[in-house]
Each structure stands twice: as structure tokens, then as C-alpha cells.
Amino acid sequence: MDAERRLLLTGFEPWADHAANPAEVLARRLDGWRHRGWRVCGVVLPVALDAGPAVLTAARRDLRPHAVLHLGLAASRPGLTVERWAHNVADFPLPDNRGAQPRGEPLAEDGPTRLAATLPVAAAVHALAAAGVPATPSASAGQFVCNAVLYASLRWAAAARFAGPVGFVHLPSPQTLALDTQERALERLLRWLVAAQL
């Protein structure tokens, strides 16, 4: 029996006019991070509606994670935000990295209007804030690829009766909050998450 427990941590590649994406950088930096029998497996997803969820599906199949945490960039936000909901809508304000731009389309014709993150949001916000960074809950993961990936993860978790937490944290730009500071806050969040699963 495999005693090691795995946390799938995803980030996204750069997109639009963002030359770098802190979600990608931090998913790579934290790949291999270990704490109390847990290991982080960092995976970078494409910013593409037709590819991001597919890469995520393959990562879940290969890694068989015990918890899933997604990271994304919300450059206009002043701090880290923990998402409460994924919504069944794709309404892209600009094309994704493969040129797709759905407007007001459902992500799943037969899916619920929204799905709640199973990561305890208030506790996650508290863990981030305890690291001395601005952190708040958010009721909307947007209507771009971030939301699509969270919605896909939560649909999978419900169908598979996945017992572990699934959540999403949006990151501010590195110009707003230094990457090293964001990394320390995420490590605090990961330590809390691991302790909560023991």
C-alpha cells in the first residue's frame, strides 16, 4: 500500500498580455514539497477550454491525488482569494490561448448551475491571513478557464465520491504581492490542509 499522500497543485501557463503567470511559477516551485507524509505534485495547465480540463483529467489518473488545489491569476485583485463556487458558464472576455472565446455558454449542458468548493473556504482564508498576507473569500472564480477547471474538478469529485478537498486560490500579480511572499502564504495553507486531513 502506498503510504505517501499526494496533493495535486495546478497552475496555468501565461496568457493574454501576462508574460509570466505566478500560478505557473508557484506550482513549479512547490512541486515536490513534502510535509508529514504528503507530497505536492505540481502540474501546469494550458489556458485553453478544450485542453485544460483534459490535462487535469490525465494528471488525476496518473497521480491519484488525495487533495486537489488549483492556482490561478487574478491580476486586478489586491490579495489572495479563495473561491467558494464554480459556475456552469463560459463567457470569455478575450480568447484563450488556442483562440476559443465562448460567450455565455454552459460548461456542461446537464450540469448544475454552480458547484461548491469542498476546501473549507473560511479556514483556508484564515491560514493564508495567518501568514501575513491579504486574503479573502470570493464568490466567483470568474467565467474564464480558471472557473472551467474548478467546475470540471468539482464535477469529477462529486461523480467519483472523492473524499479529499478540492479548491481554488486566485493569486494577485507579483507587482501587487511579491512571489516569495505568496509562496510562504501557500506553504502555510498547505501545512494547514495536511494537518486537517490527518
Active site residue 183: no
Q: What is the DSSP letter of 46?
A: P
Strand partners, 12: 45
Q: Which of 35, 146, 183, 187 is catalytic?
A: 146
**Helices marked H in 21-174 — which ranges?**
22-30, 52-63, 121-129, 145-160
Told to judge if 170 belongs to the known catalytic residues of this protein, a careful annotator would answer yes
Is 146 considered catalytic here?
A: yes
Q: Which of 18, 170, 183, 187 is labelled catalytic?
A: 170
**Residue of 83, 109, 183, 187 with catalytic role:** 83
Q: Is 163 helix (H, G, I), strand (E, B) or coil?
A: coil
| Residue 141 CB neighbour total at 10 angstroms | 26
Phi (first) and psi of residue 144, to 5 degrees:
-110, -155
CA distances from 2 to 31, 34, 99 (A): 19, 15, 41
CA 149 to chain centre: 8
Active site residues: 83, 146, 170
